[in-house]
């Protein structure tokens, strides 16, 4: 399994108070349109997430760079997939 490690900037300390609690909750969520959190690492001077590797990059890269040219049909499908993930997160 390929993973990526996302290391956080600790200058925004308040945002990371409950990182471990939220990560443990998110590890149990399984939806085809949500990246999987494999694990987390947290102490006073270091915070990171171990995430599923996405070989094509993130959604922002697809939507906002000239490397990808998406037509209205593809963008509509992405909107539907994002909405599906949001509904799953809010209602299960």
The residue segments making up the domain with residue 83 are: 56-92
The C-alpha atoms of residue 18 and residue 16 are separated, in whole angstroms, by 6
pLDDT, tens only, 49-74 = 899 998 888 888 888 888 888 899 99
71 and 39 within one domain: no
**Which residues are within 8 A (CB) of 2 and not within 5 positions of it... i.e. 6 or more apart?**
53, 55
50 and 16 within one domain: yes
pTM as predicted: 0.72
In terms of C-beta density within 10 A (0-12 exposed, 13-18 middle, 19 or more buried), how is residue 91 classed?
exposed
46 and 7 within one domain: yes
Q: Name, of 17-26, 39-48, 82-91, the range with top average pLDDT.
A: 82-91
When pLDDT is averaged across residues 25-50 and rounded to a whole number, the result is: 87
What pLDDT shows up at residue 23? 80
74 and 48 within one domain: no
32 and 14 within one domain: yes
60 and 48 within one domain: no
**Size (the chain), residues:** 92
Provide the CATH number for the domain around residue 28.
Answer: 3.30.200.20
Task: Count the domains in the chain.
Answer: 2
């Amino acid at each position: 399994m390929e993973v990526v490690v996302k290391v956080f900037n600790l200058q925004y300390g308040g945002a990371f108070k409950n990182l471990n609690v939220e990560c443990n909750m998110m590890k149990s969520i399984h939806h085809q349109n949500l990246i999987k959190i494999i694990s987390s690492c947290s102490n006073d001077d270091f915070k990171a997430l171990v995430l599923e590797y996405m070989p094509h990059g993130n959604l922002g890269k697809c939507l906002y760079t000239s490397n990808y040219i998406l037509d209205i049909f593809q963008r509509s499908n992405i909107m539907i997939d994002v909405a599906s993930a949001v509904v799953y997160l809010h209602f299960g």
